[in-house]
Amino acid sequence: MNYQRIEPNVKLNPWVDCYWFADSDSSIREKKKIIPDGFPEIIFHYRDPYRINISGKWQQQSKGLFAGQIRKFFYLENTGASGMIGIKFKPATPALFFDVNMIEYTDQVIPLRQFTNVFDPIFTSISDPLNFEVVAKSLDYQLESLIRPETEDLIKVNRCLNLIFSRKGNIDVRELQEHAIVTERQLQRLFNKYVGLPPKFYCRIVRFSHIFNLMEQRDASWVEIALESGYYDQSHFIRNFKTFTGEDPSAYLFEEETLANFFMKRT
């Protein structure tokens, strides 16, 4: 599988994390694990569709998809040649751009046309082989048209999200409350609406994600990785890792070129 990541234009930097592309001519079926990274996505398959197993049952996906926040790992399997276009949004962006309540899409991967049809002109005109730069520019243009003024509530949520990322998930809910000047109940309501996950759980995902950056940056023991990631002991670190991946960290193949590793590594 070939992977490529392209940054959005400057206007979209606060709203879009990146565009990503993945393709392979191989039609050999491979089961791939996807693990939570905290970013909702729109995905379009311009070659053969994939099958998904998110709740214990395999189902064939639509060509276009919207994926909300995911709380645990799930599986994908190609049905033939792979060709994917992804829009990885900042956590609260879909709530603003598409006027949705994100808690309704938690642990959901749904057909894109059930969510929005604004990308139909782009995706129906896709030709293979794909020109990644041209597609990225088309997505820039379409997404710019969806930018709207932030509400006061969204400003509070984004302030909290910025703090969570700057602390790499190592922050408690009380500090987030003080930062946003809201009660714990109000903070929970805002995160459910704009992010799709409670603030404490979202911090767990961000903290977990930081493990992949540490593994990429330097060689260290699991004890060092656990401490630097903010886990108070190694057993807590292992339990958390297993929750999100279904695997022990010592058995996980961080260097393997997989969809999960491509999504998790931020560089």
What stretches in the chain show pLDDT beneath 50? none
pTM: 0.93
- Provide the strand spans (E) within 7-150: 16-24, 31-34, 41-45, 50-53, 58-60, 64-67, 74-78, 82-89, 109-111
Which residues is 120 bridged to in the sheet?
Answer: none
* CATH number given to 2-144: 2.60.120.10
pLDDT score for 262 = 83
So where are the chain's domains?
2-144, 152-264
What pLDDT is attached to residue 158? Answer: 97
pLDDT at 80: 96
pLDDT tens sequence across 27-53: 999 999 999 999 999 999 999 999 999
pLDDT given for residue 266 in this prediction: 61
Look at strands 58-60 and 31-34 and give their pairing: unpaired
Sheet holding 31-34, edge to edge: 31-34, 74-78, 50-53, 58-60
In this predicted structure, what is the pLDDT of residue 213? 81
Q: What is the pLDDT of residue 56?
A: 87
The pLDDT of residue 235 is 84
* Topology of domain 152-264, CATH: Arc Repressor Mutant, subunit A (1.10.10)
**84 closest CA partner among 126, 125, 36, 40:** 126
Please give the Cα distance from 64 to 141 (Å, whole number): 19
What is residue 218's predicted lDDT score, i.e. its pLDDT?
63
- pLDDT tens track for 75-111: 999 999 999 999 999 999 999 999 999 999 999 999 9
The token duo for 243 is 């929750």
